[in-house]
Amino acid sequence: MTEAAALPGQPRGGVISGRATARAHCVLAPNPSPMTLDGTNTWIVAEPDSDLAVVIDPGPLDDAHLRAVVETAERAGHRVALTLLTHGHPDHADGAARFAELTGTPVRALDPALRLGDEGLGAGDVITTGGLELRVVPTPGHTADSLSFHLPADGAVLTGDTILGRGTTVVAHPDGRLGDYLDSLRRLRSLTVDDGVSTVLPGHGPVLNDAQGAVEFYLAHRAHRLAQVETAVEAGHGTPAEVVASVYADVDRSLWPAAELSVRAQLDYLGEHGLI
């Protein structure tokens, strides 16, 4: 899902696996790849003095990883009471049903097809488990069902794939839409400006402790790519594949299929706004 090697914000350095804030602990899934970076970050979130924890994105269907998440929570004195999903991509959600079996927890998500239990997730919802407060922030764009979770007590936001700890994310056309994604980034920027969010806890890559810098980087990157795509079309590159070869020439070719999804989303956006 990365498109560039540039680092948004100020990463703490290295692969994040372990405690990231007073309330958030990462267990890194063993699924590294060009698309997943070092692997999927599974987050255990709990009040320090609570016996209950929330797990966000159990990750792939890897029994050893799922058991490691449970064991990590238990070593900290927590019982997993709830599972949340930022979105339905397999590297985040394929292990959810098995994790629910291991923990006896419901799974809450925006997409009804991903839920296990009666409750979903939506804009304005507030999760209160074991005294923890997580606020649901709709952040569509990478996918239509993408959510972020604001952790006010730590000045942090868990962003799934909307903002990564390294590189940039794909707008996964046709499900993902660029206009939605830009709106989501602006929504996250408002959290950094108005709500004291300083830390990004991403779905992949290291923690970022300059949340506003990360969001600004992403917005600037998108504007730059959009201008490049528009220029490529004006130069006669008529297909998404041709645009990718022109605009993403400096990107590893293994990422070109993912880049083409973003290009298709950008072409749709430019067309909708009468720019091509």
Helix (H) or strand (E) holding 67: helix 63-75
Domain limits for position 129: 18-209
Q: Would you say residue 169 lies in a domain?
A: yes
pLDDT band at 15 (very low <50, low <70, confident <90, very high): low
Q: Would you say residue 239 lies in a domain?
A: no
The pair of three-digit structure tokens given for residue 62, joined into one six-digit string? 């890897």
At 156 the pLDDT is 97
Q: Would you say residue 100 lies in a domain?
A: yes
Q: Would you say residue 214 lies in a domain?
A: no
The rounded distance, in Å, linking the Cα atoms of 191 and 88 is: 24
- CATH for 22: 3.60.15.10
Q: Would you say residue 93 lies in a domain?
A: yes
Q: Would you say residue 103 lies in a domain?
A: yes
> Is the distance from CB of 143 to CB of 172 less than 8 angstroms?
yes
The rounded distance, in Å, linking the Cα atoms of 158 and 148 is: 5
At 161 the pLDDT is 98
Q: Would you say residue 268 lies in a domain?
A: no
Q: Would you say residue 23 lies in a domain?
A: yes
Query: Domains in the chain: how many in total?
Result: 1
pLDDT of 88-118, one tens digit each? 999 999 999 999 999 999 999 999 999 999 8
Report if pTM > 0.85.
yes
pLDDT of 147-199, one tens digit each? 999 999 999 999 999 999 998 999 999 999 999 999 999 999 999 999 999 99
The rounded distance, in Å, linking the Cα atoms of 205 and 236 is: 37
pLDDT band at 276 (very low <50, low <70, confident <90, very high): confident
